[in-house]
Structure 1
């Protein structure tokens, strides 16, 4: 009895003592946090989205059968499921709503899984979405009412004989009228399907070019589609040879958030002068402080001489910290040089 209660709470309405899905916000996978400037929800559950694929690839599992008995044949994952989950607090409804949040973020996730027909033995002909964005049961409702077995597999209803594909229909009565028109459309649809009788049915993720589902790729898509749309957005950089404070400094430097005198003056800070306090040769801008000041130029000369790179030229922030040195280096050497360059910029 206790196990049944716990199972019901997991699928329908869990309490605080029952295991909840691990919520990983975008910023927890190495990306800045999403804000609501574009009506994008804060906190997209990247990790639990794997259950979408597990539901599709494990149809014989007991937990999948339980989900289908509660939420329908598609488990509530289909765009055509008109079910309101806004007030539900179950784990599965949270997984369903996560797909909606990702779609709202600009990534067409819920339609990204496509069934690839092999021998057709593990695909439900009427209930699963293997063509288009809806099941055949919803697209051909009159034929579905005439079908003897709605749980028939694709292999039971379609036969591939060499280059020809033939429908193996089993109706309660001969389709007539509008049902006859639906049957003609269904025959055309079936003949356009490409079967691979020597392979098993499988799922392909269209957002990865038909490959396997990976949370990292989904996270990168969210960053490019949502975070990249932000005005002035700058991607954070990472080098495991540098301290975190140096990486934060480089990020602020690229965004122009260093408190040099010209920036303070723009923000209304009362200053006696905005000229460089070290060389007094120019106004103190970010580019002057990091590169063209006499002290900064001398430091960069010493560093470049140490690495055998010659005399440094006056560069922009992106050219200096993202560009490549003018001598060939190995990947490890490039990373070490980047760490030295970032750290010198931080110390200056």
Structure 2
């Protein structure tokens, strides 16, 4: 019985992975038209269980099923941004393997399109080392913050220490337990 459950989880995981990596396939487009751009991946387990799309709901619940076995399915995979046409700016883990809408929850409310692609938000400028944000949809402060984060030049203690700035400690000044990083 255990082998059957493992095989079922593996097959569900395969469809979950195909949804995430093959956005131009017909069945993926159908799911997105029914459940939204993220396919309902952000929905809670209770909402998924109540839906009538039982097969797709089972695929979406693969993450919570594997968490019961102490496996973090979502974080086993790293999203490759490439040209940004297949990566959601807010809802895919493309920057430091974290979702930007979780990291910057209040900023997403300022965006008129929560399902925007990375390619719609970041414009690469060839003369610079890193992509810059050139949009009017967010305050300039955020543009500068993202630009500095990508270049790893935010003045956090770890980066200042790398540049030879003499500091008492590189530990976070509030908790004094962990290194202060971005």
TM-score (structure 2 length as normaliser): 0.61
Paired with 1:66 and 1:52, the residues of 2 have a C-alpha distance of 14
Paired with 1:48 and 1:153, the residues of 2 have a C-alpha distance of 26
| Higher alpha-carbon Rg | 1
Partner of residue 92, structure 1:
56
Shift of 1:144: 3.4
Contact 2:91 2:101 in 1 (8 A): yes
- Change in CA separation of 1:82 and 1:189 when aligned onto 2, cut-off 3 Å: farther
Higher RCO (C-alpha under 8 Å, 6+ residues apart): 1
Residue-pair matches, total = 149
Paired with 2:40 and 2:149, the residues of 1 have a C-alpha distance of 25
User: Could you say what secondary structure the match of 2:75 adopts?
Assistant: coil
Q: Which of 129, 141, 145 lines up with 1:164 in the alignment?
A: 129
- Change in CA separation of 1:146 and 1:27 when aligned onto 2, cut-off 3 Å: closer
Partner of residue 65, structure 1:
29
- Structure 2: segments with no counterpart, 5+ residues: 153-182
- Change in CA separation of 1:105 and 1:160 when aligned onto 2, cut-off 3 Å: farther
Partner of residue 44, structure 2:
82
1:188 counterpart = 2:164:
no
Paired with 2:127 and 2:20, the residues of 1 have a C-alpha distance of 29
Q: How does 1:189-338 map to 2 (within 5 A)?
A: 189-191=149-151
Partner of residue 266, structure 1:
none
- Structure 1: segments with no counterpart, 5+ residues: 1-24, 35-42, 193-348
Shift of 1:145: 4.1
Partner of residue 117, structure 1:
81
Q: Which of 58, 61, 70 lines up with 1:106 in the alignment?
A: 70
Question: How large is the RMSD of aligned CA atoms in angstroms?
Answer: 3.3
User: Could you say what secondary structure the match of 1:111 adopts?
Assistant: helix
